[in-house]
């Protein structure tokens, strides 16, 4: 009964006029960001964080969260009509969605995408309501060593599950941890890596880092390779799926929702992995797998359900444990901290209006999205026709304005520029920037947890082995690192074997 009481309280918060408007603006902007190829939700949220400084904590996070899950809807529109994923989570939707558009079934593809996303999003919100309070009860029993172990496991998982080199991902995580130490020592109060600069004394701000790594670098990469989109010309009729479409799609939507929800809980997995896995699962279970890639509606329904369920379940470890599972949730965590809120088990107890207001607003936002998206599709098609060479200067301008508005300091603009060039070079060299950003956000908490543990134990590292949770997390982290090293050595040996055989 307590859960129902909390949910009703949450709806009174999320349906307040100011918060309702924030939710509407968030999902509308999120859809627009998802529609525009090459912008990205991480860059957009980092750009808009400074705008939320004058807003209440609840309204600002509701808006930013709306952008997060709203972009999942918008990304499918671009994938289906242009065959270019507006969001990385919509890559799989291109395979069958664009083929359906070529067959004159763009309306059915867009319709099942919207309704499938709504169903998955609704179930995802219900999952947050049930699982997050339970996880909070467990987390309240954690101590500093346990949190240190969890943070290390989260960073290791992100590095382990990236698509590229695991060693490069670990290097990025270490660089992020080092950058997080710039400023004042949280325990001793001494200066570190500030080099006498008053601007660096308070540490490096999160928005300039995120805007540079993801916004500026993305624009530079798109300008370099030449970004052209060709919209497939088709009439958007039949947006409501037929009875046959629903019959074929309901089970894939259900399976995609389950896959996405549980993978969204894991750091580093999230929506991208869940879409590929759900698509592969449907193809494996199908009696006619040859239809996939040629316009199978299940190939649209399952991954779209998976990415929306994953984007919402990712908020469970963020809100209940204070552990972000992706670069986007790391930014949401940063936004909460900017507003003086500490994500973790005490959030639901000390700020129930924030926790339950955010959770229930996601249901309200999903209702808004399914109502808004279908009628506004013709408008999004017109937005897609804007040339990228006109959009890129505007993105640069908004990044500069957003960065400068944080502290009215040119140093933040310089910081953004440096990280923009760094992000560009990192991507050119196949280094993922996401582990760097996650480590940068978690670095402060990890350092405090480790140093508090060592203070308790008077400098003995045995404390991390004496606590079951901490010891388990560290053991899992060590196993993943060792497996990556062994796999790398075996791959290197297999590559060298033909050379040795030739001698």
Q: Which residues lie below 8 Å from residue 133, measured CB to CB, with a gap of 6+?
A: 3, 6, 320, 348
Of how many residues is the chain composed?
503
pLDDT band at 494 (very low <50, low <70, confident <90, very high): confident
Q: Which residues of 172-209 are buried (b: 16+ CB within 10 A; e: fewer)?
A: bbebbbebbbbbeeeeeeeeeebeeeebbeebbbbbbb
230 band by pLDDT with thresholds 50, 70 and 90: low
Confidence of residue 313 (pLDDT cuts 50, 70, 90): confident
182 is written with which tokens? Answer: 């710039």
Map tokens 């309306």 to a residue. 107
If you average pLDDT over residues 55-60, what whole number do you get?
A: 87
pTM for this model (two decimals): 0.69
Q: Which pLDDT belongs to residue 503? A: 46
| Local structure of 192: helix, strand or coil | strand
Name 336's Cβ contacts closer than 8 Å, sequence gap at least 6.
57, 61, 342, 343, 347, 354
Collapsing DSSP to helix, strand or coil, 85 comes out as coil
Residue 269 CB: number of other CB atoms within 10 A? Answer: 21
Range 150-179 average pLDDT: 78
Share the mean pLDDT of the chain: 79
Q: Which residue has the higher pLDDT, 271 or 429?
A: 429
Single out the residue of 7, 13, 9, 20 nearest to residue 127, CA to CA. 7
Residue 24 binned pLDDT confidence (cut-offs 50, 70, 90): very high
Find the mean pLDDT for residues 220-249.
68
43 strand-pairing partners: none
User: Do residues 158 and 169 make contact, with C-beta atoms less than 8 angstroms apart?
Assistant: yes
What is the gyration radius of the CA atoms in the chain, in angstroms?
A: 23
83/71 Cα distance (integer angstroms): 16
* CA quadruple 67, 73, 75, 78: dihedral sign: negative
CB atoms within 10 A of CB 29: 21
- DSSP string for 49-63: GGGGGGS-HHHHHHH
Out of 14-28, 100-114, 187-201, least confident range: 187-201
pLDDT above 70 covers a percentage of the chain that reads: 86
Distance CA 427, CA 207 (A): 19
- Checking if the pLDDT of 8 tops 80, the result is yes
Answer whether residue 269 shows pLDDT above 60.
Answer: no
- Counting other chains too, the contacts that 392-397 makes at CB distance below 8 Å and 24 or more residues apart are 392/219, 392/222, 392/223, 395/39, 395/43, 395/215, 395/219, 396/216, 396/219
Q: How confident is the model at residue 83 (pLDDT cuts 50, 70, 90)?
A: low
**pLDDT at 452 (0 to 100):** 86
Q: Residue 500: pLDDT above 60? A: no
Residue with token string 């006029």:
17
Positive or negative torsion for Cα 164, 170, 173, 175: negative
Query: Could you tell me which of 27, 367, 429 has the C-alpha nearest to residue 217?
Result: 429
Please give the Cα distance from 39 to 367 (Å, whole number): 25
Helices (H) and strands (E) in the chain, counts: 22, 2
| 314 vs 197: CA distance, rounded Å | 37
State mean pLDDT over 333-356: 83
Helix axes 17-35, 57-82, angle to 10 degrees: 30
Give the per-residue pLDDT at 162: 64
Top-ranked range on mean pLDDT: pick from 204-208, 336-340, 493-497 = 336-340
Looking at per-residue pLDDT, the higher value among 416 and 157 belongs to: 416
179 vs 174: CA distance, rounded Å:
9
Which tens digits make up the pLDDT trace of 177-218?
888 888 888 777 788 887 777 777 777 877 788 778 877 787
Mean pLDDT of 259-270: 72
SS3 assignment, position 345:
coil
* 3-class SS of residue 270: helix
């Amino acid at each position: 009964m307590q859960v129902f009481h909390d949910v009703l309280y949450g709806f009174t918060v999320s349906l307040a006029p100011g918060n309702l408007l924030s939710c509407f603006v968030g999902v509308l902007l999120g859809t627009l960001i998802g529609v525009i190829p090459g912008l990205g939700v991480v860059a957009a949220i980092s750009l808009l964080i400074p705008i939320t400084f004058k807003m209440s904590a609840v309204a600002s996070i509701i808006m930013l969260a709306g952008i997060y899950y709203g972009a999942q809807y918008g990304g499918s529109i671009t994938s289906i009509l242009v065959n270019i994923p507006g969001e990385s989570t919509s890559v799989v939707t291109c395979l069958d969605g664009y083929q359906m558009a070529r067959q004159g079934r763009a309306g059915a593809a867009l319709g099942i995408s919207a309704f499938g996303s709504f169903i998955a999003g609704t179930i995802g919100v219900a999952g947050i309501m049930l699982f997050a309070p339970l996880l909070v009860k467990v987390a309240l029993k954690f101590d500093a060593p346990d949190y240190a172990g969890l943070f290390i496991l989260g960073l290791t998982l992100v590095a382990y599950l990236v698509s590229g080199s695991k060693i490069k991902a670990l290097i990025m995580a270490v660089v992020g941890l080092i950058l997080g130490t710039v400023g004042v020592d949280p325990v001793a109060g001494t200066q570190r890596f500030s080099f006498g600069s008053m601007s660096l004394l308070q540490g490096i701000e999160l928005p300039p880092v995120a805007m540079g790594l993801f916004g500026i670098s993305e624009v530079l990469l798109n300008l370099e390779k030449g970004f052209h989109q060709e919209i497939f010309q088709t009439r958007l009729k039949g947006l409501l799926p037929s009875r046959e479409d629903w019959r074929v799609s309901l089970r894939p939507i259900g399976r995609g929702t389950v896959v996405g929800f549980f993978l969204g809980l894991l750091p580093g997995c999230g929506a991208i992995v869940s879409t590929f896995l759900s698509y592969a699962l449907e193809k494996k279970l199908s009696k006619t797998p040859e239809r996939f890639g040629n316009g199978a509606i299940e190939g649209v329904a399952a991954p779209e359900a998976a990415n929306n369920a994953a984007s919402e379940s990712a908020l469970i470890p963020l809100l209940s444990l204070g552990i972000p599972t992706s670069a986007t949730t790391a930014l949401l965590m940063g936004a909460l901290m900017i507003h003086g809120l500490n994500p973790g088990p005490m959030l639901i107890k000390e700020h129930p209006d924030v926790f339950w207001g955010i959770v229930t607003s996601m249901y309200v936002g999903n209702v808004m999205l399914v109502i808004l998206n279908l009628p506004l599709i013709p408008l999004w098609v017109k937005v897609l026709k804007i040339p990228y060479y006109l959009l890129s200067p505007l993105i640069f301008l908004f990044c500069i304005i957003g960065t400068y508005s944080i502290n009215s300091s040119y140093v933040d603009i310089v910081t953004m520029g440096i990280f923009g060039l760094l992000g560009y070079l990192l991507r050119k060299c196949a280094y993922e920037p996401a582990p760097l950003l996650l480590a940068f956000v978690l670095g402060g908490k990890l350092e405090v947890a480790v140093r508090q543990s060592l203070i308790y134990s008077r400098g003995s590292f045995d404390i991390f082995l004496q606590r079951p949770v901490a010891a388990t997390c560290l053991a899992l982290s060590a196993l993943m690192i060792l497996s990556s090293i062994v796999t790398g050595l075996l791959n290197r040996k297999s590559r060298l074997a033909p050379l040795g055989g030739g001698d």
